[in-house]
Amino acid sequence: MLDYKLLAALNAVIEHGGFERGAASLGLSQSAVSQRIKLLESRLGTPVLVRMSPPQATAAGQRLLNHVQQVRLLERDLRTDLPAMDSRSSMSRLRVALNADSLATWWAQAISGWCSAEQVLLDMQVEDQDVGLRRMRNGEVAACVCATEQPVAGARSLLLGHMPYLAVASREFIARHFPDGVSIAQLPQVPAIVFGPDDQLQHRFLRQLGVAGEFEYHLCPSSEGFVRLLTAGIGWGMVPALQVATELRSGVLCELVPGQAQQVALYWHYWRNGGQLLEGLTRELAARVPRLLG
Amino acid sequence: MLDYKLLAALNAVIEHGGFERGAASLGLSQSAVSQRIKLLESRLGTPVLVRMSPPQATAAGQRLLNHVQQVRLLERDLRTDLPAMDSRSSMSRLRVALNADSLATWWAQAISGWCSAEQVLLDMQVEDQDVGLRRMRNGEVAACVCATEQPVAGARSLLLGHMPYLAVASREFIARHFPDGVSIAQLPQVPAIVFGPDDQLQHRFLRQLGVAGEFEYHLCPSSEGFVRLLTAGIGWGMVPALQVATELRSGVLCELVPGQAQQVALYWHYWRNGGQLLEGLTRELAARVPRLLG
């Protein structure tokens, strides 16, 4: 069998973002951890991490981390069957990538009861969907929430539901730019807010209304920052209806063109051989998320 | 003088995250943009970007982008003095790195009036402070909000104020884990929530209370997700007092140990030669932020 002490050293350095903290988490000296990783590399004949700050796993290192996480999930199943096996911490770790808007809206309510009941600690990573799926393929995360249906090799995908996005702006913004009512044709001349270079929601919304071409925009890669900028009247943008329900009710934010919601599908991608823990989380999400998405 | 057509091509590809979109933003074909970048590279004798998805600027490319942004800021000053010079879009772009919690709390209120009045579009980037300052040094952003005072070469720093962080959890979480009242000594045994590997606030809070060693935690690199997880009762964590004022008032969230706020200093770093626009923003922040931070 593999020498798991070496793999655990690699895992700790990457998980804690450095040799010093990784070593501390294992109760080892930094030089002991460093030696284990060198030994691992000499056995493999290839580097497992790039010595930068924070250290990055190489392709070979990622493959090993993938393996470590799968083994841990299987060990957890084992401990459930043979509770006497391990008297140490009974908390399991699960690494999951998800889109920022899910984390900012329904995610916490969907998983909190399950995490407490199952004693699971989550490593959540915010990634746009291409990166999230690549991380699944590399084995850096065991599961991923994104808008793409096609699973990567070794994984399954499950439709959780659709998240409606609305085009909104502050009442004050609309009054300032459109004193005579919102003019679709003029919309590209007022500033929008866009989440990042890959966020095409605003473009799709304008195309759906028959407006083509470029428009001016702020870039804000933060879900809460996005809503704060909308509320402060700096631009218009597409946000999950879930996230601005209060602001719409109070009239702080208004829909630009009612009845033009964009539906974004959400899929749960998970390793096929992720053990009972991942299967349990999948069942929990399948049961809870459709209701949370309304 | 330099051939700015070539630099503009590089800037568009990086800003829009790809050759196709970069070319579209300039109204050019992809092959025209590609040729311009090749010409730039052959003149310099070094690559300016790495052809990955999305394309990344090399060190030389970043230096050029830095220059482009500085020239644009200076051009803006010129256009203010000679308004007839340019009849095209009068919106300027400014790229700024800031920590997630600032973007999730006071930032929008501090800058929205100024952005609208000055017709500025912001490219905001969420970065922890080491990365933010490195991006300033590389010239990828013109300014940065972070907790470090020491400015990078060519820049100045300005203390904006202090942001108090409180250790909080949901009322239900406290009742479940501490039915007889919060026990500091037991705190490491209940799950915490930590923003990322560099987030030492929870560690500092425990040390301040005389509790040493490791503790279990969820990782959640999203400000809004963090508050949602706290509210859903999955763990305890340190959050800006500003961000949970409503939840504390309503009693959904409670302070674990009242009177133990952690103060985090916030500095504004900005290029010394950033033109009048950046100076104006600096004056605006100096005037508004201390009041917003309370």
Q: Of B77, B50, B64, which is closest to residue B139 (Cα–Cα)?
A: B64
Question: Strand, helix or coil at B51?
Answer: coil
**Closest residue of chain B to A188, computed from CA coordinates:** B89
Question: How many contacts, defined by CB atoms under 8 Å, are there between A and B?
Answer: 144
pLDDT tens sequence across B156-200? 999 999 999 999 999 999 999 999 999 988 999 899 999 987 788
A88 vs A42, higher pLDDT? A42
Residue in A with minimal Cα distance to B101: A225
Q: Report the gap between the CA of B97 and the closest CA in chain A (Å).
A: 10
List of chain B residues whose C-beta atoms are within 8 Å of the C-beta of residue A116: 176, 233-234
B63 or B96, which is more confident?
Answer: B96
User: Per-residue b/e over B232-245, b at no fewer than 16 CB within 10 Å?
Assistant: bbbbbbbbbbbbbe
- Name chain A contacts of B24, Cβ cutoff 8 Å: 214
What is the pLDDT, as a whole number, of residue B88? 47
> Chain A: nearest CA to B39, how far in angstroms?
25
| For residue A52, pLDDT beyond 90 | no
Q: Least CB-CB distance to B217: which of A17, A121, A232?
A: A121
Residue type, B107: W
DSSP B134: H
Would the CB atoms of B121 and A18 count as touching at under 8 Å? no
CA A58, A60, A61, A62 torsion-angle sign: positive
Map residue B200 onto helix, strand or coil: coil
Fold type of domain B1-56: Arc Repressor Mutant, subunit A (1.10.10)
Contact state of A224 with B224 under an 8 Å Cβ cutoff: yes
Residue A268, pLDDT > 90, answer: yes
Residues in chain B with CB shorter than 8 Å from the CB of A124 are 218-222, 225
Residues in chain B with CB shorter than 8 Å from the CB of A242 are none
Banded pLDDT at B83 (limits 50, 70, 90)? low
CA angle centred on B237, ends B206 and B136, rounded to 5° = 95
| Cα B12 to Cα B36: distance, rounded to the nearest angstrom | 12
CA pair distance A282, A223, nearest whole angstrom: 25
The model's pLDDT over B154-163, given as tens digits with 9 standing for 90+, comes to 899 999 999 9
The one-letter amino acid code at A284 reads: E
| Average pLDDT across chain B, whole number | 88
d(CA A208, CA A205) in angstroms, rounded, equals: 5
| Pairwise CB contact (< 8 Å): A108 & B225 | yes
Task: Tell me the pLDDT band of B89, cut-offs 50, 70 and 90.
Answer: low
Question: Closest-CA residue in chain A for B172?
Answer: A113
User: Which residue on chain B is closest to A100 by alpha carbon?
Assistant: B222
With bands split at pLDDT 50, 70 and 90, how would you rate the model's confidence at A87?
Answer: very low
Kindly give, in sequence order, each residue whose CB lies less than 8 Å from that of residue A131, ignoring residues fewer than 6 positions away.
A97
* Start-end of H helices in B142-199: 171-177
Kindly state the average pLDDT of the residues B214-227. 91
Using alpha carbons, select from A132, A194, A171 the residue that is nearest to residue A255: A171
Q: How many of the other CB atoms lie within 10 Å of CB of B15? A: 17
- Measured between beta carbons, the chain B residues lying within 8 angstroms of A217 are 121
Chain B residues touching A89 at Cβ < 8 A: 216
How buried is residue B103: exposed, middle or buried, by Cβ count under 10 Å (0-12/13-18/19+)? buried
A229 → chain B, closest CA residue: B108
With beta carbons under 8 A apart, name residues in chain B contacting A25.
214
Q: For residue A113, what is the nearest residue in chain B, using CA coordinates?
A: B234
Q: Which residues contact B206 (CB under 8 A, 6 or more apart)?
A: B187, B188, B212, B215
> According to the 3-state scheme, what is the secondary structure of chain A?
CCCHHHHHHHHHHHHHCCHHHHHHHHCCCHHHHHHHHHHHHHHHCCCCEECCCCCEECHHHHHHHHHHHHHHHHHHHHHHHCHHHCCCCCCEEEEEEECHHHHCCCHHHHHHHHHHHHCEEEEEEECCHHHHHHHHHCCCCCEEEECCCCCCCCEEEEEEEEEEEEEEEEHHHHHHHCCCCCCHHHHHHCCEEECCCCCCHHHHHHHHCCCCCCCCEEECCCHHHHHHHHHCCCCEEEEEHHHHHHHHHHCCEEECCCCCCEEEEEEEEEECCCHHHHHHHHHHHHHHHHHHCC
B41-57 pLDDT per residue, tens = 888 888 899 988 889 88
Q: pLDDT category, B286, cuts 50, 70, 90?
A: very high
Question: How high is the ipTM of this complex?
Answer: 0.72
Domains in chain B: boundaries: 1-56, 163-263
CA angle, A280 as apex, A274 and A283 as ends, to 5°? 115
* Cβ-proximal residues to A151 (8 Å cutoff; 6+ apart), any chain: A157, A269
**pLDDT (average), residues B99-111:** 94
Q: What is the mean pLDDT of chain A?
A: 88
Contacts of B245 in chain A (CB under 8 A): none
Cβ of A225 within 8 Å of Cβ of B115? The answer is no
At residue A80, does pLDDT exceed 50? yes
- Using the Cα atoms of residue B214, residue B215, residue B221 and residue B226 in order, give the sign of their dihedral: negative
Q: What is the pLDDT of residue B130?
A: 74
* pLDDT for res A88: 47
Name which of A88, A219, A239, A246 to mutate to probe chain B: the one with the most chain B Cβ atoms within 10 A of its Cβ.
A219
- Is B123 in Cβ contact with A197 (below 8 Å)? no
Interchain proximity A225–B111, CB inside 8 Å: no
Half-sphere exposure of B248 (CA within 13 A, CB side): 15
Q: What is the pLDDT of residue B172?
A: 94
Query: How much is the pLDDT for B173?
Result: 95
Q: What's the pLDDT score for residue A101?
A: 93
Among B89, B228, B231, the residue with its CB nearest the CB of A216 is: B89
Distance from CA of A259 to the nearest CA of B (A): 27
Residue B68, pLDDT above cutoff 50: yes
pLDDT for A89: 53
What class is the A163-263 domain?
Answer: alpha beta
Taking the CA atoms of residue B278, residue B281, residue B283 and residue B287 in that order, the dihedral angle to the nearest 10 degrees is -160
Q: What are the chain A neighbours of B104 within 8 Å (beta carbons)?
A: 222, 224-225, 228
Q: What is the mean pLDDT of residues B207-213?
A: 87
Gap between the Cα atoms of A13 and A7, Å rounded: 10
